[in-house]
Structure 1
Amino acid sequence: MCRQILGGCFRFESTSEALLDLVEAAYAGLPPHQLMMGTPEFRIELRLLPRQLSPSAAEPPPMRVQSGAGLLCGVMDASNYVVLAPEQRRALVVASEDMLSHRYHLRYELIEFAVFTLATRGLGLVPLHGACVGREGRGILLLGASGSGKSTLALHSLLQGLDFLAEDAVFVQPESMLATGVANYLHVQADALCLIDDDATRRWINQAPIIRRRSGVEKFEADLRLGHGRLAAAPLELVGAVFVSAQSADDPDVLLSVIPPDEIAARLSADQAYASGQPGWHRFEQRMMQQGVHLLRRGRHPRDSANALRQLLD
């Protein structure tokens, strides 16, 4: 099975239809983003092992990462792990039949870990924990701590007609500032439904499966490919970033404030602990300081925050 993801051509190989079905659920129907003239190929083998003899736990063990000898390994246990050879653009994902009952963890922590890591290393991308929306080829990066409201803002930006690039992970080419992502699912908590005015949108989210994060937080996992809003058809050129704050604005008509240039580098590094240690970070940081970064406080309704983002994209 071949899918164009994050600017690369990913070839998935397996004898297990169940594992390939998970790949299809994650990557079918995505806009085929392209970041460079050619499209590098990556190969991922997926192998299914027999069910473990011990009873399946309520939640798989957390992944531990090891590296050496040109390899990167993410290990849950002896039957569930990923081995990556970034220089060869290859990966092996091994899962037991038990993990098929933990589809979210299998997809997110094993398969997506392989895809995201190979793309980051092979395409020279800066991996960011954040969201991104835009219009007419221009994008705004949404940053902030977990619980600040990035997913809710991304949802309302989608409902207000902005292009949706990614909700949880954004990958940036630091020289061009082109951003790409995987716009497959949107994760929102139940309390966000009361802020949605459209009945069809509420039904779409309310009927979605519920996933449980490692933190214990439960969220709806709504499929963005069902036609609710517009997905970014191509990578977006970043024109700025916004730190989303859970704090309400003093003036509900003034939600945006400029972060002083001499504070931007420290704010970005503190927010992106993993990315700040990756190749390309320094150039990304320089470009972001040139473009400007804003703080976005909450208004009366999330649609007001989405309208504030429109101002930055005009």
Structure 2
Amino acid sequence: MATFSFSDTGESSLDPFLERTGRRDVVHASALGGDFRFESDSPELLQLARLAYEGLPAHRLSVSPPAFHVELRLLERRVDAPADEPPPVRAQSGAGLLCGVMDECNYVVMSPQEGRALVVASRDMLARPYHLRYELIEFAVFTMATRRLGLVPLHGACVGRHGRGLLLLGASGAGKSTLALHSLLGGLDFLAEDAVFVEPTSLLATGVANFLHVKADALGFIGDEAVRSWIREAPVIRRRSGVEKHEADLRHAPVPSSGGPLELVGAVFVSGQRAADADPLLRRMPTDATASRLVADQPYASGQPGWAPFQQRMVERGVYELRRGSHPKASVDALLGLLA
């Protein structure tokens, strides 16, 4: 019979897999059409789950929303913690499990079909709450909901009105976040700013309207002092690209942000190019060019099972290009024309 030995001595050798846990607390949240239960003996990790999902509207995509269980586990501080940002998450899979690994002390293991995930983080990662929340906890939530509910995961924003939505796409820096912000200020429903999840047959879109990420120069077109203060006083996060943005909590916004899911009636590629004074800001793209444009903009989503029906329906409903006007309000007015 094979025997196994562990290098650790003392109490850790009696429970090498950390199966004997102490008292755990629970945080419940609704997100992306599912009911999530976060469980941990770490108040700090549970607080990050609350920060991400507490107070969000429940988006129901099915009669019986699936249940998900996410265990959050905090390890003691690493002695070799990097001084700068943590390493990027590397994806891996096998034996029906999906993994996202930063390093040996910070990783996610998921079984989407069973709706269960383990998120492990080292104590030093608490000093990097943005990376810990966004790249580990939210990574687990987004991945499990996408796989279990058959959603198409998209990098983009979504705004709408009266249950009808527009998908905002385009390269980083094109102005999607700024347009989403001014759409919010213009009275549109704000579904999501960074990640949108779509049921491919119905084109019903959901997202997590928890934060809005905008650069400081976006304040230049905002006249409302309450809105300016809301953004200006928000924490600043640093993307892995090096871009720094304010992370403003939409649940504390001076204006309401979101209701239920939105049915997509079109997609709009946001362009950084300014339109000539006499030209319209919005133009419909040729049908024969839209399918390839969608694939090029969404390389990960285009490999998912629901991509083909999603792509076909988006092409049928219309894909547009939006160039910049003299003021963001003009762009919002153009979107309103599509939602009428």
- Counterpart mapping for 1:137-286 below 5 A: 137-251=163-277, 254-286=280-312
Alpha carbons 1:128, 1:169 under 8 Å: kept: yes
> Could you say which residue in structure 2 is the equivalent of 1:107?
133
Amino acid at match of 1:51: R
Q: Distance between the aligned counterparts of 2:83 and 2:278, measured in 1? A: 47
> Could you say which residue in structure 2 is the equivalent of 1:58?
84
Alpha carbons 2:31, 2:59 under 8 Å: kept: yes
Amino acid at match of 2:243: V
Deviation at 1:56, TM superposition (A): 4.1
1:114-151: per-residue Cα shift (whole Å, max 9, x none)? Answer: 00000000111000000000010000000000000000
Amino acid at match of 1:168: D
Q: Distance between the aligned counterparts of 1:137 and 1:55, measured in 2? A: 47
Amino acid at match of 1:14: S
Deviation at 1:250, TM superposition (A): 1.8
1:88 counterpart SS class: coil
Q: Distance between the aligned counterparts of 1:5 and 1:196, measured in 2? A: 30
2:113 counterpart SS class: helix
Residues 249/19 of structure 1: CA separation in 2 closer, same or farther (3 Å cut): same
Q: Distance between the aligned counterparts of 2:256 and 2:195, measured in 1? A: 18
Structure 2: tracts of 5 or more residues without a match? 1-26
Deviation at 1:231, TM superposition (A): 2.4
1:28-49: per-residue Cα shift (whole Å, max 9, x none)? Answer: 1111110011110011100000
Alpha carbons 1:33, 1:234 under 8 Å: kept: yes
Amino acid at match of 2:199: Q
> Could you say which residue in structure 2 is the equivalent of 1:20?
46
- Counterpart mapping for 1:26-105 below 5 A: 26-105=52-131
Q: Please report the TM-score for the alignment, with normalisation by the length of structure 1.
A: 0.98
2:60 counterpart SS class: coil
1:170-200: per-residue Cα shift (whole Å, max 9, x none)? Answer: 0000111100000000000011111111111
Amino acid at match of 2:30: Q
Figure out how many residues of one structure are paired with residues of the other and give that number. 314
User: Displaced runs of 4+ in structure 1, greater than 4 A?
Assistant: none
Structure 1: tracts of 5 or more residues without a match? none
Q: Please report the TM-score for the alignment, with normalisation by the length of structure 2.
A: 0.91
Q: Out of 139, 143, 152, which is 1:126 matched to?
A: 152
1:291 aligns with 2:317: yes
Amino acid at match of 1:107: R
Deviation at 1:227, TM superposition (A): 3.5
Alpha carbons 1:126, 1:174 under 8 Å: kept: yes
1:120 counterpart SS class: helix
Q: Distance between the aligned counterparts of 2:163 and 2:152, measured in 1? A: 19
1:115 counterpart SS class: helix
Alpha carbons 2:230, 2:253 under 8 Å: kept: no
Deviation at 1:89, TM superposition (A): 1.1
Q: Distance between the aligned counterparts of 2:237 and 2:228, measured in 1? A: 17
Q: Distance between the aligned counterparts of 2:296 and 2:214, measured in 1? A: 25
The percentage of aligned residue pairs carrying the same residue is: 67
> Could you say which residue in structure 2 is the equivalent of 1:6?
32
1:230 counterpart SS class: coil
Q: Distance between the aligned counterparts of 1:307 and 1:107, measured in 2? A: 35
Q: Distance between the aligned counterparts of 1:42 and 1:114, measured in 2? A: 10
1:249-285: per-residue Cα shift (whole Å, max 9, x none)? Answer: 1236610001011111000000001000001000000
Q: Give the alignment's Cα RMSD to 1 decimal.
A: 0.9
Deviation at 1:229, TM superposition (A): 2.4
